Amino acid sequence: MFTTAMIDTLEAQAIELPSWAFGNSGTRFKVFSTPGTPRTAFEKIADAAKVHELTGLAPKVALHIPWDRVEDMGALRQHANDLGVELGTVNSNTFQDDEYRYGSLTHVDKNIRQKAIDHHLECLEVMNQTGSQDLKIWLADGSNYPGQVNIRARQDRLNESLQEVYAHLGSEQRMVLEYKFFEPAFYHTDVPDWGTAYVQVLSLGEKASVCLDTGHHAPGTNIEFIVAQLLRLGRLGSFDFNSRFYADDDLIVGAADPFQLFRILFEVHRNGGFDPATGVAFMLDQCHNIEDKIPGQIRSVLNVQEMTAKVLLVDSPALDAAEVAGDVLGANGILMDAYNTDVRSALADWRESRGLPREPFDAYRQSGHLAHIAAERAGGTQMGWGA
């Protein structure tokens, strides 16, 4: 079923895991704890490494600072390497300190803006110690009521703050700016859409790009168009894959709309986004509120792999010919033929040929690993965020 070129793409696929997905999380109302939840950043890395061990798809782990800050970041890096993974994107956090109530990099108070800038410089130092390439910035900055803030002035202050952080990037480091159309601010958000993020990073330089989170859009938004446009402009830096029914649900990717995931990945493939030269980083950003965490991450990376395999089956020359001929239904049929192809058995064969379990999800559930870490990690304080 798979050609040599298709296999090469599958072999190269890498999906970065978020360290926070292995901690306790929940809604605004309740955070649920689960047996075996990591108590330290080192245990988070171990859980992520287990996902990679079974799937071969997750060679990097993204960090969140200060959640994952340890006394010796070099030791955390070595721990990851010993387990067969690397430390990846470093995510900043300017949404949990009381001073950031009215904003961080956009705040009207210069002292608070400087605190946020200094935090990002700290993240860059973490990157120096861990070998990470990307600094990812998501801001909760915004307002809840008309008249509360000067929207334009906040854009100016945001640019000034980003310029200062950007000036400290190393030669091999990048900044990726994430956008989100609402929450926790409800009247306006300072980086609400891809256009705003693009305008901001464009003024910074070539080492700045946009992060697209698949859950950060209004209902009905054509995310595939945004993917194509940012790839066209050379400014798609990274993906945060998750799934949503209503807003930023952070569910297992592909859970709500598998066909949307297929359409997004098709635009990635069609526009060269799987080529390592584009620098696009693929990662998950989701929380497991009621389901087990390691199996949830396994299911997610397998969903991305499955849709990627379907995308690779699309007959692109035939699709282009149908467009030239004005064959609307024929073009759609070509796409749907690929989407409706069952690739699961072929992927299982491919995994087996690489020495991986045919069915990683089932292999994990049958391994007894969850019971083992639940017993091993009894006591202590589980990591996560409160509500």
Q: Check residue 27 and give its pLDDT.
A: 78
Residue 359's contacts (CB-CB under 8 Å, 6 or more residues apart) are 348
> Average pLDDT, stretch 28-54?
94
> Average pLDDT, stretch 35-62?
98
What whole-number distance in Å separates Cα of residue 92 and Cα of residue 95?
Answer: 9
Label residue 386 by pLDDT band (50, 70, 90): low
pLDDT (tens digit per residue) in 166-209? 999 999 999 999 999 999 999 999 999 999 999 999 999 999 99
pLDDT (tens digit per residue) in 150-167? 999 999 999 999 999 999
Mean pLDDT of the residues in the chain: 96
Q: Check residue 25 and give its pLDDT.
A: 87
Share of the chain above pLDDT 90, in %: 96
Q: Check residue 387 and give its pLDDT.
A: 46
- CATH topology for 4-311 is TIM Barrel (3.20.20)
pLDDT at 385 over 80: no
Distances (CA, A) of 2 to 10, 40, 360: 10, 41, 20
- Eight-state DSSP code of residue 328: H
Structure pTM? Answer: 0.96
Share of the chain above pLDDT 70, in %: 99
> Using an 8 Å Cβ cutoff, are 29 and 101 in contact?
no
Q: Check residue 1 and give its pLDDT.
A: 84
Domain boundaries, the chain: 4-311
Residue spans of alpha helices (H) in 234-359: 258-270, 293-312, 316-325, 328-339, 344-353
